[in-house]
Amino acid sequence: MHLGGDFFESESTTAPPSFDCGVPTPLIGSVGSGLLGFRSTSSGRSGSGLIGAAWADTLLRWNGRPRGAMLFGRMSDSPSSPVRLFGRSSSHFTRIARIFAAETGIEYSFEVVRDLLSRSAGDFGGNPSLKIPVLHVGSDTWFGALNVCRALSRESKRNVRIVWPEDLVEPSLANAQELVLQGMATEVTLILSKLGGERDSPHQAKLAVGLTQVLAWLEANAAHVVAKLPPSRDVSYLEVALFCFVTHLEFRKVLPVSDYPVLEEFATRFGERASARETGYAFD
């Protein structure tokens, strides 16, 4: 599974499927809680009815660890240690980290990676792979979006109920997470290919086909996949990544999101969260 990290960002008459009409509809909670629950519009009951309360309680992880479990590898610095996030406002992997920072209530200084062609790890917050995002908490350094999000959750004083990728034990959930991350990585590669002058190569053509097929799968499955997530969660890595992926496609003009109305509606609803509104894409 691709765990997340951007290398390069450049400035450069049938009703469609819906989350309404009997399909679980996002129920936006208070700004403070950041809750995105789901309600079946056909039954009026909260939750999808596809999972039991005990399973949901087992699946949910509080602040990045199972309930009652010991936390190994805890940050050595106190919560008062300075937090610095290296990334780009135009990066979808960076936006995942920024949304998690907002959801967990972690304040940080944002260190914009200016020279994206640099070959110095120091310009990427110390990441030898020359990718973003990177998080510094005191003397500790975390590479990649998923690592960064886990670190932020451990630093948080909030009791945030998070569903992590390893919690997705049902095939459609796990496959959705995998395809979202693969799609994000493919999008970056296509942008790099275009900037590098590659045109209509077999490799680029295959990537483009793969990306459209990923989006078609997500369009067909997103509603019931999200409905299977525990209704008592505050946030899931899957939803955040999906939102960042879909909105980035439109921002970078890779593909028109209007061709995928279910994904577009999901992004619109998730975009109502304070954490999403505060982290809009921009070129630094």
**Widest pairwise Cα distance in the chain:** 59
pTM for this one? 0.76
pLDDT, position 4:
52
pLDDT, position 236:
98
Alpha-carbon distance of 189 to 173, in angstroms, equals 25
Alpha-carbon distance of 118 to 122, in angstroms, equals 9
pLDDT, position 35:
36
Residue 165 phi, psi (nearest 5): -55, -40
Residue 215 pLDDT exceeds 50? yes
Alpha-carbon distance of 34 to 218, in angstroms, equals 24
Residue pLDDT, tens place only, 171-207: 999 999 999 999 999 999 998 777 766 777 888 899 9
Helices (H) and strands (E) in the chain, counts: 8, 10
Name the residue with higher pLDDT: 154 or 59: 154
Q: Summarize the confidence of residues 40-50 as an average pLDDT.
A: 36
Domains delineated in the chain: 83-155 (3.40.30.10)
pLDDT, position 247:
98
Q: How far is CA 193 from CA 117, 183, 207, 257, in A?
A: 14, 15, 10, 21
pLDDT, position 5:
59
